[in-house]
Amino acid sequence: MTSQPTPSRRLFLAAGPASAVFGALSQAVARAPGEDDPIIQALAEVDRAHAAYEQGSDVSSDEAYERICDAEAELFSTRPTTRAGATRLLRYIADFLDQDDVINDSLVGATIGDSIRDAIAVFERQALAG
């Protein structure tokens, strides 16, 4: 009978970031039609910056956080050129606005992200229908 290696704490802790990376990769493959859009490259850079920050890369956390800020600034100044790119940008903005109560409005702050995602759903349904 072969013995199974005992799972280590390090392996357990590494599973979370690894699953996030594999999830992002599967989403990137599913969204390949808009890959010529500059938004796709900008979002990929944001994803890389977040992954480096979460994995505790070789740079300090301040430098890693600064990389995220720079990547997001570049993303928000990039114009999408395809429907797929526009949809992904809107989804990112909706998620961004939902973080840490970014929208400081007690009446609509909690619904802005959902409103953007609802609009995206219309684009996605139309794309599938036609």
Other beta carbons within 10 Å of 90: 17
pLDDT in tens, 28-72: 445 455 568 999 999 999 999 999 888 876 678 888 889 988 998
- By mean pLDDT, which of 39-43, 54-58, 93-97, 116-120 is the weakest? 54-58
What is the DSSP secondary structure assignment for residue 32, as one 8-state letter?
G
Encoded tokens for 86: 């526009």
User: pLDDT of 8-25, one tens digit each?
Assistant: 444 444 455 544 544 544
Pairwise CA distance, residues 55 & 15, whole Å: 11
Question: pTM (2 decimals)?
Answer: 0.58
Contacts of 3 (CB under 8 A, 6+ apart): none
- Give the Cβ contact number of residue 19 at 10 Å: 10
Residue 45 CA to residue 91 CA, distance in Å, equals 16
